[in-house]
Structure 1
Amino acid sequence: MATDPASDLDGKSVLVTGGAGFVGSHLAAALTDRCEVTVLDDCSTGDPDAVPDGAAFRRGDVRDPTDLGEAMRGVDVVFHQAALSDVGASVRSPVEGHRRTASGTVKVLDAARREDARVVAASSAAVYGQPDTLPIRESDRKTPVSPYGIDKLAADQHTRGFADRYGMETVALRYFNVYGPGRAGDRAGGKVDGVVGAFLDRARSDRVLPVEGDGTQTRDFVHVSDVVRANLLAATTDATGRAYNVGTGTGVPVREVAERVVQLVDSDSEIVHVEPREGDIDHSRAALGRARSRLGYEPTCDFEAGLATLVDRATVPS
């Protein structure tokens, strides 16, 4: 495996949709020294301050043909991160969720087809729903339990379908539970994204840490740096037209995450169990055989090390 998967992208023109968000801003930051980077984001949830200085920023919506067409012009590779990422919001507004995630992806794919650009699209482990067996393989049954998961599955299938139908170079990456320092341009210095970030935020102020259900449910927590690396590998692989899991292959109980955060922060927070979310899955853990053999992907940041780094970062005054 190449030590620098971005080296084959030197001099390329790339577009990062949703590049003012969590994963997108880290991805854009990893590319600005070697590529001509454009970020397209409507900033409905993203922060324009997160866009790295070396990237051209366009405030716009992937569903708007003018915004998308201007951002896509002359692009070699598209990293499509833009979507409605809030599961709860997708339940409250399923039509809007479909428009932003499924319809938005089709529009990006079609615009990229006209530019003959490769598309690396963010999919999700939510496409699998409640798994039959662990670890979860890409070929396993897909029964998503939320509108978000359904929309991600539609986007995932369209991404692979455009490769079959139009001969495009596309890759869908099924992210498991991504965590890590917040948006790459976050000036606050202490922000951490995801459930890990929520626990850290509460623990630092000695507030209650709510754990849904009994806390024995496990999740595959993958550091954002490994997600970025998977995207760079997907942008240069010959094994296109496929979907790949992006995780660590290790399941961590949610209760254990809360306990570890309290311990590392030396917090007086109490861990309290609350009602489980309706439709929540019990366990999630990625099988990485396909990603290893086809992409050369290997996770490099184990959860203990990644969490300790975030705690150290979060306790530094901003």
Structure 2
Amino acid sequence: MDTVLITGGAGFIGSHVTDALVESGISVVVLDNLSTGNRRNINLSPAVTFIEGDVRDDDLIEKIFKKNPSMSSVIHLAAQSKVGPSLNNPLEDLMINVKGTVTLLEVARRHEVKTFVYASSAAVYGHVENLPITEEEHTKPLSPYGASKLAAEQYVQTFGALYDMNISALRFANVYGPRQSADTEAGVITIFIEKLLSGRTPLIQGDGQQTRDFVYVDDVVKAVITPFLRSNETKVNGVFNVSSQSQTTINQLLMVLCREVGNTFNPDYSSERPGDIKHSYLSHDKITKIFNWKPHTSLNEGLKRTVQYYRSLLEDC
């Protein structure tokens, strides 16, 4: 049976991808250094092998492939995924996001892996006036994080073209759902839920009229594994937005959460963060056309499931 390497498989999105592949009868090797991932997220199925380690470790990556000769695909989700640390330490951001990606690509190439799915970010676009944002839009990252994700994208596509690899670089919108940490750039939903459930007042930075594109993690998982599952049917080397293709204001988001939790909508407001983009949402027409993927979870349903998850954590404490 073929084996899939998932980097960042103990993290938010990666653990859900692991679960989905195991349910499909696929063996998985999870590589995670647990800097942001959590051991409790690791699937305990016999089909899963967990290795604690770093994507920048050339020798370790080589050993993983040698020990798993049936490794056919890589789903690369591990990353430094925050803007703040990339500003404070851009070299570290570069080494994790670019060097780590190239290390994986090079070892995968040597071992004749033909499918490589890479998790990119909408941060590669920067500020865009024309909405919804398509993959053809010019990329102008506003942070070292966005620049490193874009640079890694370029390496992924170059390897795909040079070595006949089946490549998909997925530019995620704001992913949310169970297991997401509040300590992330996209964790506003988790932050709001934790405050509401603990009786504290949520804080909105700005006037709350800024819009974002929120996509539920189960839909994102399907977008991640679809290119992998169809790699024998469709030859692809490209970038794809993964989004809800809709705008939600932060005020609307919090209103839905307040209704779900049973709280009154009464947030505190502060000044907006310097450099924040006012409005953003992504077109998913391209991935729909190529892979017939669409999100199926409404924001109301996704938020309901997410609140239920965090409620269950409190009940277990």
TM-score by length of 1: 0.90
Partner in structure 2 of residue 70 of structure 1: 63
Structure 2: gaps (5+ residues): none
Please say if residues 128 and 143 of structure 1, whose CA atoms lie closer than 8 Å, have aligned partners that are also in contact.
yes
Is 1:61 aligned with 2:54?
A: yes
CA distance, structure 2, for counterparts of residue 165 and residue 212 of structure 1: 45
Matched residue, 1:28: 18
Q: CA deviation at 1:278?
A: 2.1
Question: Which residue of structure 1 lines up, in the alignment, with residue 205 of structure 2?
Answer: 212
2:217 aligned partner, one-letter code: V
SS at match of 1:293: helix
| Aligned residue type for 2:280 | S
Name the residue aligned to 1:157. 154
State the distance in 1 between where 2:308 and 2:31 align.
32
User: Offset of 1:239 from its aligned partner?
Assistant: 4.0
Partner of residue 174, structure 2: 177
Aligned partner letter, 1:215:
G
SS class of match (1:76): strand
CA deviation string 1:92-122 (max 9, x = no partner)? 2111111111111111111111122111000
Give per-residue Cα distances to partners, 1:176-219, cap 9 Å, x unaligned.
00000006xx9xxxxxx821111000011121211111111111
Distance across 1 between alignment mates of 2:265 and 2:248: 20
Between 1:60-69 and 1:276-285, the stretch displaced more is 276-285
Secondary structure of 2:269's aligned partner? strand
Partner in structure 1 of residue 42 of structure 2? 51
Q: In the aligned structure 1, how far is the partner of 2:294 from the partner of 2:283?
A: 12
Q: Structure 1 CA distance, aligned partners of 2:285 and 2:263?
A: 39
Secondary structure of residue in 1 paired with 2:177: strand
Instruction: Indicate if the aligned counterparts of 2:5 and 2:74 stay in contact, CA closer than 8 A.
Output: yes
Q: Secondary structure at the match of 2:20?
A: helix
What is the aligned-residue identity percentage? Answer: 36
Matched with 2:305 is 309
Task: Give the C-alpha shift of residue 86 in structure 1.
Answer: 1.8
SS at match of 1:23: helix
How far is the alpha carbon of 1:286 from its aligned partner? 1.4
**Count of matched residue pairs:** 300
Structure 1 residues 5-58: Cα deviation after superposition (integer angstroms, max 9, x where no partner): xxxxxx321000011111011111111241111001111111122110121001
In the alignment, what sits opposite 1:292? Answer: 288
Amino acid at match of 2:121: S
Which consecutive unaligned segments of at least 5 residues does structure 1 have? 1-10, 187-192
Deviation, 1:269, is 6.9
Whole-angstrom distance in 2 between the partners of 1:66 and 1:100: 16
- Residue 83 of structure 1: how far off its partner (Å): 0.5
Residue 267 of structure 1 is matched in structure 2 by: 263
Q: Distance in 2 between matches of 1:68 and 1:247?
A: 31
TM-score using structure 2 length = 0.90
CA distance in 1, matches of 2:42, 2:311: 24
What do residues 133-155 of structure 1 show as CA deviations (whole Å, max 9, x unaligned)?
A: 01110010111111111111111
Q: 1:135 aligns with which of 108, 125, 132?
A: 132
The runs of at least 4 aligned residues of structure 1 exceeding 6 Å deviation read none
Indicate the SS of the match to 1:25.
helix
Give the whole-Å Cα distance in 1 for the aligned partners of 2:20 and 2:100.
Answer: 24
| Range that drifts further, 15-24 or 88-97 | 88-97
Q: CA deviation at 1:268?
A: 5.2
Task: Check whether the contact 1:233–1:296 (CA below 8 A) recurs between aligned residues.
Answer: no
Of 101, 118, 121, which aligns to 2:118? 121
